[in-house]
Structure 1
Amino acid sequence: MRAISQTAPHPFTISNYRFLWFSRLSAMFALYAMMLILGWQAYNLAREDMGVGASAGILGLLGLLQFVPLFILTPLVGWVADHMDRRWIARIVLAVQAAIALTLGLLTVTGQISLWAIYLISVLLGICRAFLGPAISSLAPNLVPKESLPRAIALSNIAWQVGVIAGPGMAGPLYKIAPALPYFVCAALYILAVAAMLMIGPVKRSAIDRTKGPLRQVLDGMSYVWTNKLVLGAITLDLLVMFLAGATAMIPVFARDILDAGEIGLSLLAASPAVGAVIVAVIFSFAPLSRNVGNKMLIAMAIFGLATIGFGLSTSLPLSMACLAICGAADMFGIYVRGSLIQLHTPDDRRGRVGAVSQVTVSASNELGDALSGGLAVLFGPIAAIVAGGAGAIVITGLWSRLFPQLGAAKTFDPPDDLDDNISGNLKRNKTPIA
């Protein structure tokens, strides 16, 4: 197998990729600002009538409401991403999210925001994320050379994590000025994301086998994940680690009732994981990882579990922020390795369907993990829920290293040679940007 070139064109030299990157940055900024305030409003509304544990359960319910539509729609959205113009899928979904943010702002201004309204919005956001994820993730490999893809993934993750930092970082202070203001700012950011997506020109795509019916094509995508043990191991490792050790849903609980940090502390805690993640992503954007990638991913997942335990036990805001930053750095390490392996080991004509399977597992780990944390918090308290989840993540990482030896055996990102003929539309040999 050939080593991935370190002299490949930088993704930012390709105009289509630059527009995609800016659209992702703006959309992630808006999404995480909106989700933080949504959770904050829900928790405070619940605390009017409930105790800490029951109110924490409400935050878990929000995650579950986002996951259910995504899970149901996964077979459809993967097929759509492989058969329709991925740019237009993203444009439509981002426009809908702008409308959702505007609606939340109006409900807040008029005093009509309620738990039931937040539940409905959570379902709509789950539908939007179901369609957007596979379209965006499978679009990037069509815009850059294969040799540049690991660096492009690192840059995309920078856009994501800067949004995770900047979104919550501005949401708390804006909420203190006026509760509806963060939502109106998010609506404007989504409009900017749509505008950037409209600037992306025609994109080359590999041919789709249209001799098979839609159901068979959906099953082919799932079958590919099941039979490729490297892809399956990477996806399921993330599923279980993040399912058990996700701490983000409990941030409002820790900010209000454990650390007594208020809205500013809420923003600082919510942004902390992204600070660590951005540091790692920036490093990889300049110096892409190239050796012993599988074992390094496994070590990162174990560190994630340890840092989660530290967060659960902390009673200091600075220490809690540091633990969450380590969580973010470890998670980004795993995201970078996993994303590069999956994208480079999957033919282009199946990327949408494989991306949909990957997305539903990521969402299961996040949203269902939020629901699990909320449920455990109701039964045992938020601290015990977080500590137990971190310990479980460490156990799963050790077990997966034995069940899927392909993970540790992945020394580089190199795909099998027979994939090269199947991966088209990624400028593998053409150094000229697609216009």
Structure 2
Amino acid sequence: MDIANSEKALHGDRFSVLFQFNVLLYLSGRFLLICGSQVVNVAVGWLVYEVTHSALALGLVGLAAFTPKLVLSFVSGLVADRFDRRLVCSASFVIMATVSIGLLMTATSGPVEIGSIYALFVLYGCARGFGNPAAQAMIANLVPREALGRVVGVSSSTSQMATIIGPALGGVLYVAGAWLPFAFACGAFLLAALLFLFIRSRDGAPNKAPVRFRDAFAGLSFIWQKPVILGAISLDLFTVLLGGATALLPIIASDILHLGPLGLGALRSAPAAGAMMLGLFLTYRPIERRAGAKLFTVTTIFGLATVVLGLSTNVYLSLAMLWLLGASDVFSVVIRQTLVQSDTPDAMRGRVAAVNSLFIGASNELGEFESGVTAALFGLVPAIIVGGAGTLLVSALWAIKFPELRKRDRLVE
């Protein structure tokens, strides 16, 4: 099917976006990438804890992966705007595959060197730091603008599916052999790199103008000057930062609901299940009108669900609230990502995506830290309730502070 015919089919069938050649390649590659990443995270976590029996050592693994992303965020966005994004993604995935081989060798050779794992994860973080902005910026190059919301919705569902499958697969593979998860991840990353190379991008030729120092910070400057984008990104940042109750699920499962490991697994799966289901629904029925009002509505629902989760002592009510947290979060993600992609010129998308990716990473990492500190200081239930109340307050303040975002009608104007 040629591009012209495929675009006609796109308008005639709500699900035809799933059968576009570019979309299929992108979603398949993204699924492999996230699934492989989850497998690596689980395997490295087990390996490091088996060797050190230290929670601090586990925390340093995450720090080793996140720090390069923080340092390289502005450079990686510029690279995504200056070079072919398919090649940037593929090169990043190949580096991640190389790191997987290094981890395999570390896991199977004599005494495991923890320093080697940290060093490899720094390189792993560098590769992800370049790959993530380029992959985010590619979404708008896959289909016509009017189909962007559907692609973002199904992409979110694909990510959640991989997030559900990946950790379980990593655990099973690790039990069979400490080297198997890394071998699987290597193959997944290489296949993802190959799939991305076959994507026929709609973007134009890369910008060849001379690079200036201020170009690296142009994405941040652009966001600051666009109230709709700034409001959407910062709203998500503070919502996740304050409402990071999922980091406390082991305590909720043990001390409040009196569940074992299987119950904890069910609790952890509930948000991803909600996100996956609603993401697929938004593919069938995309958000067409009153996008801004709906964004603040789901943010309010997120805060209320967090408060109820903190008060709940019933397993089924807690599962329902966790499902609702995942569903409302992905609704917000689809709105935010579509707004950011549609309102950003293609020549700037890489740098804006890099800032967006940095904010998302920071909110997730700092959100877990904030929840842990608040729970240690004030107790589990007050920490969750205060976080949910803070989310409600932020939603109300942002609705006043960013009227352009609140009044936004269509996602793609």
Give TM-score, length-normalised by structure 1: 0.81
Equivalents in 2 of 1:59, 1:301: separation in Å? 31
Structure 1: runs of 5 or more not aligned: 50-54, 416-435
State the partner residue of 2:282. 284
> Residue 412 of structure 1 aligns to a residue in which SS?
coil
Equivalents in 1 of 2:101, 2:47: separation in Å? 16
CA contact (8 A) 1:60 1:375 kept: no
State the partner residue of 1:222. 220
Equivalents in 2 of 1:270, 1:99: separation in Å? 30
- Letter of the 1:296 counterpart: K
Equivalents in 1 of 2:315, 2:59: separation in Å? 23
State the partner residue of 2:4. none
> Residue 204 of structure 2 aligns to a residue in which SS?
coil
> Residue 413 of structure 1 aligns to a residue in which SS?
coil
State the partner residue of 2:411. 413
Cα separation, partners in 2 of 1:253 and 1:291, compared to 1, 3 Å: same
Shift of 1:302: 2.0
CA contact (8 A) 2:51 2:112 kept: no
Moved more, 134-143 or 184-193: 184-193
State whether structure 2 residue 190 is matched by structure 1 residue 186: no
State the partner residue of 2:268. 270
CA contact (8 A) 1:59 1:370 kept: no
Shift of 1:61: 5.3
Shift of 1:275: 0.6
- Letter of the 2:88 counterpart: I
Structural mapping, 1:33-432, within 5 Å: 33-39=39-45, 48=53, 55=55, 62-109=61-108, 112=111, 119-178=118-177, 180-201=179-200, 203-205=202-204, 208=207, 210=209, 213-251=211-249, 264-312=262-310, 314=312, 318-380=316-378, 384-415=382-413
- Letter of the 1:220 counterpart: A
State the partner residue of 1:52. none
State whether structure 2 residue 10 is matched by structure 1 residue 11: no
Can you list the C-alpha shifts for 1:135-169, whole angstroms capped at 9, x where unaligned? 01111212211111111111211211111121124
Shift of 1:312: 4.5
Shift of 1:126: 2.9
- Letter of the 2:23 counterpart: Y
> Residue 290 of structure 1 aligns to a residue in which SS?
coil
CA contact (8 A) 2:271 2:325 kept: yes
> Residue 204 of structure 1 aligns to a residue in which SS?
coil
CA contact (8 A) 1:133 1:356 kept: yes
- Letter of the 2:128 counterpart: R
Shift of 1:252: 5.3
Shift of 1:199: 2.2
Equivalents in 1 of 2:259, 2:322: separation in Å? 15
CA contact (8 A) 1:60 1:367 kept: no
Between the aligned residues of both structures, percent identity stands at 34
Equivalents in 2 of 1:218, 1:183: separation in Å? 34
CA contact (8 A) 2:174 2:181 kept: yes
State the partner residue of 1:22. 28
Shift of 1:132: 1.3
Cα separation, partners in 2 of 1:62 and 1:203, compared to 1, 3 Å: same
- Letter of the 1:26 counterpart: L
Can you list the C-alpha shifts for 1:244-281, whole angstroms capped at 9, x where unaligned? 22244444565677767565445434332211011111
CA contact (8 A) 2:82 2:206 kept: no
Higher percent of residues as helix: 2
Equivalents in 2 of 1:270, 1:197: separation in Å? 30
- Letter of the 2:183 counterpart: F
Cα separation, partners in 2 of 1:346 and 1:271, compared to 1, 3 Å: same
Give TM-score, length-normalised by structure 2: 0.85
Cα separation, partners in 2 of 1:209 and 1:84, compared to 1, 3 Å: closer
Can you list the C-alpha shifts for 1:12-38, whole angstroms capped at 9, x where unaligned? 343222211110011112223333454
Equivalents in 2 of 1:86, 1:240: separation in Å? 29
Equivalents in 1 of 2:44, 2:245: separation in Å? 17
Can you list the C-alpha shifts for 1:205-262, whole angstroms capped at 9, x where unaligned? 2663715x33232233222111110000001111111122224444456567776756
Equivalents in 1 of 2:45, 2:311: separation in Å? 22
CA contact (8 A) 1:155 1:281 kept: yes
Equivalents in 1 of 2:313, 2:176: separation in Å? 28
CA contact (8 A) 1:59 1:374 kept: no
Shift of 1:397: 1.3
Can you list the C-alpha shifts for 1:51-95, whole angstroms capped at 9, x where unaligned? xxxx4x766655444433212111101100000111111111112
Instruction: Kindly report the root-mean-square deviation, in angstroms, between the aligned alpha carbons of the 2 structures.
Output: 3.2
Moved more, 120-129 or 308-317: 308-317
CA contact (8 A) 1:16 1:143 kept: yes
Shift of 1:404: 0.9
> Residue 7 of structure 1 aligns to a residue in which SS?
helix
Number of aligned residue pairs: 403
- Letter of the 1:22 counterpart: S
